[in-house]
Chain A
Amino acid sequence: MIPAQFDYIAPGSVEEAISALAEHGDDAKVLAGGQSLLPILRMRLNAPGFVIDLGRIGELQGITEEGDTLVIGAMTTYAAVLASEAVGTHAALLSKAIQTVADPQIRHRGTIGGALVHADPAGDVGAPALALGAEFVIAGPGGSTRTVAGDDFFEDLFTTAVGEGELLTQIRVPKHTGWGAHYEKFVRVSHQWSIVGIAATVRSEGGSIAEARVGLTNMGSTPLRARAVEDALVGQPATDEAVRAAVASVAEGTNPPSDLNGDSDYRKHLATVLTRRAVLAAAGA
């Protein structure tokens, strides 16, 4: 389908992009990989007068290490994240989750920043980012930047802390070197968004779980972190029985959607089964 007409702006720096945003206000939309935005424009669910393409801003791309932190530029593509040895080593959960996103074509276009700002509750990057305790760097007018923690970043369906006139520039992921990781994505056909997804990463010590992080995809209007389960897992042996008991309450307090792929209660049931499987796989059991 054909989008409504818009003007195209391709700034060369974050500063230029921010001023273009300031100039056009809510008549402008930022374009990253376009894998969510273009379908929206083509189906005419949105018709901005200006599209500001971040594709030429070099400073938004790439992955660097700053001490105990991995710094991922917002415009880094899924494919680039997957290709990064640093991510594989220090944030394996992110790699595992991104491997399940769509297909290779989409992973070569779609960006981690675009996915996070788009904040589709069924998207696969939010839960692992949350579980890994990622922080989000947001640039605003006048060269200002602020850093937001995961819990404050995801506000609601398709809504994040990135305000009008702001850009997400970096995702800062604390290193989880040596942690086992697994992303358990439940779908009916392979190219589907998660019906439920469970992101689990575990530090094991002598056959038992020393620390665990668990994020939930599509179990509410935002990605969720299952802190009670994380706590319950500490000190447990990585056995089916122990993990089953520790994760039994994972769906408590969640509010997953009901749709053609399953109703809310079914999703809650799935979350329980899949969390057990994800944790066991992450613990290498």
Chain B
Amino acid sequence: MTITDDRTDTAAPELEIGKARRRKEDQRLITGRTRWTDNIQLPGMLHLAMVRSPFAHATITAIDTSEAKAAPGVIDVVTGADIKDVQGVNANAWPITPDQVTPTHLPVAVERVACAGEIVAVVVARSAAAARDAAELVDVDYDELPAVLDLKEAAADTVLAHPDLGTNKSAFWKLDSAEAGTGGDVDAAIAKARADGVVIEREFRQQRLIPAFMEPRSVVVDPTGEQMVVWSATQIPHILRFLISATMGIPESKVRVIAPDVGGGFGGKLQTTPEEFATIAVARRLGKPCKYTETRSESLLSGHHGRDQWQKLTLSAEKDGTVTGFKVELLADMGAYVAIVGGGVPVLGAWMFNSIYKFPAYQFNCQTVLTNKTWVDAYRGAGRPEATFGIERMMDELAAELGRDPLEVREQNWITHEEFPFTTVAGMTYDSGNYEAATARAKELFGYDELRAEQQRRRESNDPVQLGIGVSTFTEMCGLAPSRILGQLSYGAGGWEHASIRMLATGKVEVVTGVSPHGQGHETAWSQIVADRLGVPFEDVEVLHGDTQTSPRGLDTYGSRSLVVGAEAVVRAADKVIDKAKVFAAHLLEASEDDLEFKAGRFGVKGTDKGIGIAEIALATFTAHNLPDGAEPSIDADATFDPDNFSFPHGTHLCAMEVDTETGATTMRKYVCVDDIGTIINPLIVEGQVHGGLVQGIAQALWEGAEYDEQGTLVTGSFVDYTLPTAADTISFITDHTTSPSTTNTLGTKGVGEAGTIASTPAVVNAIIDAVRPLGVDDIVMPCTPERVWKAIQAGQAVSHEGERAAAPHFDEATPNQDPGAGSPSTTTEGSDQ
């Protein structure tokens, strides 16, 4: 080997980090010519169709499979009883309290179904069509049981979702700043404010949502080899492998899970599903490869849902607008079963309801409740959108009560940039941030003052189209998660992430990551990071993921963790590669390690033009002809990174909505967001995440909601009724960034996957309320349909025409504002008769 310095003249390559690269995975993902699970065809593969319960709650009295078994092409029809000892269980991995009530969730029901859509039998046939045809022939007899569907009724325990458990209350979780020593006594703060300050009390509904990822869930199981192979459209191949092994009694070493290309998840594929377990059980029973792919209707009905909370909120403040306390009381619907992190999702709100503010006293209470509806779990933002909605609506209500600008009241209460790192009343330490900077930039881009002036003009002229401005200044905790904290919370796993880097003989680089992208573009972003770190061309980096054989260690993708935790592991592995390579570089250059510096992919001898590229070192370790004595011929490296803190992206979102007061129709006029997500690796990917996230959050405000009828049938069971928006329903967003790098990882990244969704919902609702507040409206339940907006205006007008105050009694005396048939919400100020 010769050592030539052929690169001394070349300028340092342009940095990859910060480049708006198009994603290398786009072509295959967009054309669909790729390895989606449903595209996989194995020799002799059988197809499954699920027979599902039409009832929300019923005892299974008999299942007659004979006609289905006799149908053409049918191999077997399997009931829960047939596989009862081998089907495993859908586990809850985060019992939020030691005494959490957790109903056993069998993949295929054996005696009783607890929600509509639950699987009662599996038909196996030679084709998917034959399986579907025969599924209609399975005759199931049910004895219907009373179903509990309403969350508040469920909390009252009059009808039980699971009679054997004796209660619908699953767990109660509390954080109190006085008890924790992180702040004062919230009840005292509220009592004081009732006497001489301002108390805002509201009850908000977080409606149930359906994640509605693009690729329906699909699973293929090949039980024929020594290792059973499971392909699944999942976000969590590693966790799935662990739970297959843990609950089905199959040694982990005998299971290989592959998440091939996965078409979206939004948390909806952060689950181990009954369909996965049922397919595994059937494939093993028959010894044949099996495939199950759900229909869209099955997906909407049986994939887990998200959100679904009642939030009872009490905020106390001085008359000058300084908040003195905030008390949160949640009822959170788990649906029929406590899903993998079902109970934990609302509890994540505990650290987020206080948001960016310096509240001196705080209390968070969460009661999780079982009902006879589809199970509920993570959905983009998971606990944090709910919290952000609650506090950001309350801050607007406080500003309205005081007759002040909502941004001004927020600024009065938020953490100033000089105060970071800041330990909050919930006990979190925010490492960095600059709310002033993001807000100033957002106001400028928005044209805040002009829009306020236009709003005034429209109000004065009684314009049938009113204008409202909504604010949302949010933060979120990303980068799940420090393992130590997860341990304190009884979470069933750690929060670390793993990566390895393989330096190939030809100079190419394989990066194996433990996170599991399903549309985020990790292959591109990780390539950019590694290209810079190792000084190799972007094109030479291949990112491998989602297969427990290539990527044996990992904890997958959710909670905006991939870049912050997963890419940090990659960075650390790359640094180890450089460290290892340095030894060989010194040897090959006949120089001392101390005289070497690594820059742009080359080790150079300081003060000389001698040097060697990292690719050459990789080749040298491959041939291993000339290495230091006793050296291991490899510069490959692994790293596992466990963060010691979360990251805290934040941002200021401003939304202008027009409300047609004649019809209640709402139209978005302008949306500006300035997010601080730390260092940006690829601005184009960030833009995509922000836009998509915004639309998902806006959709909660305006369009989406999973609705059930009194029988517990999902009414929004197709996209005709579950009104998912398209690009035609949104406007062009104005986005920008401020950058306060995170101090908890090398690159200074914070995570962007959930930001848009978390921030946008309250911005939109605040804007609508702001538009119609002069008409006597101070709340509208989500989604804010034209009908609801119009009716709120009618109700508000009726009250003002009677000459009464728009505000109704305190919610402890009357029914809450968002309960059907209830009066409007309450605001109490000094002097009101409490």
**Measuring CB to CB, which residues of chain A are less than 8 angstroms from any residue of chain B?**
1-2, 4-5, 43-44, 103, 186, 188-193, 195, 260-263, 266, 269-270, 273-274
A260 engages B707 (CB within 8 Å): yes
Nearest Cβ on chain A to B62's Cβ, whole angstroms: 23
**B723 to chain A: which residues have CB within 8 Å?**
188-189, 192
Q: Is B814 an interface residue (CB 8 A)?
A: no
A5 interface neighbour in B133, B721, B785, Cβ under 8 Å: B133
- Tell me the bound Cα distance from A5 to B71 in angstroms: 13
Give 24 A-B contacts (CB < 8 Å), ordered by A residue.
A1-B295, A1-B297, A2-B132, A4-B133, A103-B728, A188-B702, A188-B703, A189-B703, A189-B723, A189-B724, A189-B725, A189-B728, A190-B728, A190-B729, A191-B728, A193-B720, A195-B786, A260-B705, A260-B715, A260-B785, A261-B785, A266-B791, A270-B663, A273-B663
Measured as residues with beta carbon below 8 angstroms from the partner, the interface class of chain B is 20 to 34
Q: Mark B648-676, 1 if CB is under 8 A from A, else 0.
A: 00000000000000110100000000000
A266 engages B132 (CB within 8 Å): no
- Tell me the bound Cα distance from A190 to B719 in angstroms: 13
B726 engages A189 (CB within 8 Å): yes
Q: A260 and B729 in contact (CB under 8 A), knowing A1-B132, A4-B133, A43-B297?
A: no
**4 nearest A-B pairs in the assembled complex, by CB-CB distance:** A190-B728, A262-B787, A1-B295, A189-B723
**A261 to chain B: which residues have CB within 8 Å?**
785, 787
- Tell me the bound Cα distance from A260 to B786 in angstroms: 11
- Tell me the bound Cα distance from A269 to B664 in angstroms: 11
Give B464's nearest chain A residue, CB to CB: A273
**A193 to chain B: which residues have CB within 8 Å?**
720
B715 engages A44 (CB within 8 Å): no
Max count, chain B CB within 10 A of own CB: residue among A189, A192, A263, A269: A189
**A266 to chain B: which residues have CB within 8 Å?**
787, 790-791
Q: Is B5 an interface residue (CB 8 A)?
A: no
A188 engages B786 (CB within 8 Å): yes
Q: Is B716 an interface residue (CB 8 A)?
A: yes
B721 engages A260 (CB within 8 Å): yes
Nearest Cβ on chain B to A123's Cβ, whole angstroms: 13
- Tell me the bound Cα distance from A191 to B728 in angstroms: 8
**A4 to chain B: which residues have CB within 8 Å?**
133, 136
Nearest Cβ on chain B to A147's Cβ, whole angstroms: 34
Nearest Cβ on chain A to B380's Cβ, whole angstroms: 19
**B136 to chain A: which residues have CB within 8 Å?**
4, 44
**Measuring CB to CB, which residues of chain B are less than 8 angstroms from any residue of chain A?**
128-129, 132-133, 136, 295-297, 662-663, 665, 702-703, 705, 707, 715-716, 718, 720-721, 723-726, 728-729, 785-787, 790-791
- A1-B297, A43-B297, A266-B790 known; 16 other A-B pairs, CB under 8 Å? A1-B295, A2-B128, A188-B703, A188-B785, A189-B726, A189-B728, A190-B726, A190-B729, A193-B720, A260-B716, A260-B721, A261-B785, A262-B785, A262-B787, A266-B787, A273-B662
- Tell me the bound Cα distance from A251 to B728 in angstroms: 30
- Tell me the bound Cα distance from A261 to B728 in angstroms: 19
**A186 to chain B: which residues have CB within 8 Å?**
663, 665, 786
- Tell me the bound Cα distance from A270 to B718 in angstroms: 25
**A260 to chain B: which residues have CB within 8 Å?**
705, 707, 715-716, 721, 785
**B786 to chain A: which residues have CB within 8 Å?**
186, 188, 195, 262
**A192 to chain B: which residues have CB within 8 Å?**
723
**B790 to chain A: which residues have CB within 8 Å?**
266, 269
- Tell me the bound Cα distance from A103 to B785 in angstroms: 22
Nearest Cβ on chain A to B695's Cβ, whole angstroms: 11
Nearest Cβ on chain B to A267's Cβ, whole angstroms: 9
**B703 to chain A: which residues have CB within 8 Å?**
188-189
Interface of A: prevailing SS? loop
Nearest Cβ on chain B to A157's Cβ, whole angstroms: 16
Nearest Cβ on chain B to A51's Cβ, whole angstroms: 15
B295 engages A5 (CB within 8 Å): no
- Tell me the bound Cα distance from A244 to B702 in angstroms: 29
**B785 to chain A: which residues have CB within 8 Å?**
188, 260-262
- Tell me the bound Cα distance from A151 to B799 in angstroms: 44
Give B132's nearest chain A residue, CB to CB: A2
Give A190's nearest chain B residue, CB to CB: B728
- Tell me the bound Cα distance from A103 to B726 in angstroms: 11
Give B704's nearest chain A residue, CB to CB: A189
- Tell me the bound Cα distance from A189 to B718 in angstroms: 14
Nearest Cβ on chain B to A228's Cβ, whole angstroms: 22
Give A273's nearest chain B residue, CB to CB: B662
Give A1's nearest chain B residue, CB to CB: B295
**A270 to chain B: which residues have CB within 8 Å?**
663
Give A262's nearest chain B residue, CB to CB: B787
Nearest Cβ on chain B to A58's Cβ, whole angstroms: 32
Max count, chain B CB within 10 A of own CB: residue among A5, A43, A44, A188: A188
**B720 to chain A: which residues have CB within 8 Å?**
193
- Tell me the bound Cα distance from A187 to B716 in angstroms: 16
- Tell me the bound Cα distance from A261 to B715 in angstroms: 12
**A43 to chain B: which residues have CB within 8 Å?**
297, 718
- Tell me the bound Cα distance from A273 to B790 in angstroms: 12
**A269 to chain B: which residues have CB within 8 Å?**
790
- Tell me the bound Cα distance from A189 to B790 in angstroms: 17
Give A267's nearest chain B residue, CB to CB: B787
Nearest Cβ on chain B to A74's Cβ, whole angstroms: 25
Nearest Cβ on chain A to B732's Cβ, whole angstroms: 15
- Tell me the bound Cα distance from A188 to B662 in angstroms: 15
**B705 to chain A: which residues have CB within 8 Å?**
260
Give A47's nearest chain B residue, CB to CB: B136
**B129 to chain A: which residues have CB within 8 Å?**
2, 5
Max count, chain A CB within 10 A of own CB: residue among B662, B725, B787: B787
- Tell me the bound Cα distance from A2 to B707 in angstroms: 26
**A189 to chain B: which residues have CB within 8 Å?**
703, 723-726, 728-729
- Tell me the bound Cα distance from A260 to B791 in angstroms: 14
Nearest Cβ on chain A to B431's Cβ, whole angstroms: 40
B787 interface neighbour in A44, A191, A263, Cβ under 8 Å: A263
Nearest Cβ on chain A to B830's Cβ, whole angstroms: 39
Nearest Cβ on chain B to A223's Cβ, whole angstroms: 19
Give B136's nearest chain A residue, CB to CB: A44
Give B790's nearest chain A residue, CB to CB: A266
- Tell me the bound Cα distance from A270 to B786 in angstroms: 10
- Tell me the bound Cα distance from A189 to B726 in angstroms: 8
- Tell me the bound Cα distance from A83 to B689 in angstroms: 38
Give A274's nearest chain B residue, CB to CB: B663
Nearest Cβ on chain A to B275's Cβ, whole angstroms: 15
- Tell me the bound Cα distance from A261 to B721 in angstroms: 9
**B297 to chain A: which residues have CB within 8 Å?**
1, 43
Nearest Cβ on chain A to B701's Cβ, whole angstroms: 12
- Tell me the bound Cα distance from A43 to B729 in angstroms: 27
Give B294's nearest chain A residue, CB to CB: A1
**B663 to chain A: which residues have CB within 8 Å?**
186, 270, 273-274
- Tell me the bound Cα distance from A7 to B505 in angstroms: 59
- Tell me the bound Cα distance from A103 to B728 in angstroms: 10
- Tell me the bound Cα distance from A207 to B726 in angstroms: 40
Nearest Cβ on chain A to B787's Cβ, whole angstroms: 4
Nearest Cβ on chain A to B743's Cβ, whole angstroms: 42
- Tell me the bound Cα distance from A239 to B133 in angstroms: 60
- Tell me the bound Cα distance from A196 to B725 in angstroms: 19
**A195 to chain B: which residues have CB within 8 Å?**
786
